[in-house]
Amino acid sequence: MSSSQGWQREATVVDLSLAGAGLETVQVVAQGERVTLGFASPAFWDPVVIEAVVVWSRPGPVARLGVAFEHTGPSSVLILLETMAALEPGH
């Protein structure tokens, strides 16, 4: 995960949908921060990269945050659908 302010952080995706994702990271990220997420997908060779905005954030030993995806077109939705299908049990 990186921001337009130049920082980069590792995060764990704990929830994924077409609308957004729930993440865990070691540092809290401010609500309203625009971020770029890059993550490995079992459906694609290259990492999935998608723009998002932090809609909620909670500090703690492991910070949690929710992001809303900012889809740039139908291709980003299709990439997420393919990723979620590949992550389903039994796939």
The series of mean pLDDT values per 10 residues for the chain, 91 residues long, is 67 90 91 90 82 94 94 82 79 52
Q: For residue 14, what are the contacts with CB-CB under 8 A and spacing of at least 6?
A: 22, 23, 24, 64
pLDDT-above-90 percentage for the chain: 35
Q: What is the pLDDT of residues 31-49, one digit of tens each?
A: 999 999 888 887 888 888 8
**Distance of alpha carbon 89 from alpha carbon 73, whole angstroms:** 28
Q: What is the pTM of this model?
A: 0.80
pLDDT of res. 91:
52
Domains and CATH numbers, the chain: 2-87 (2.40.10.220)
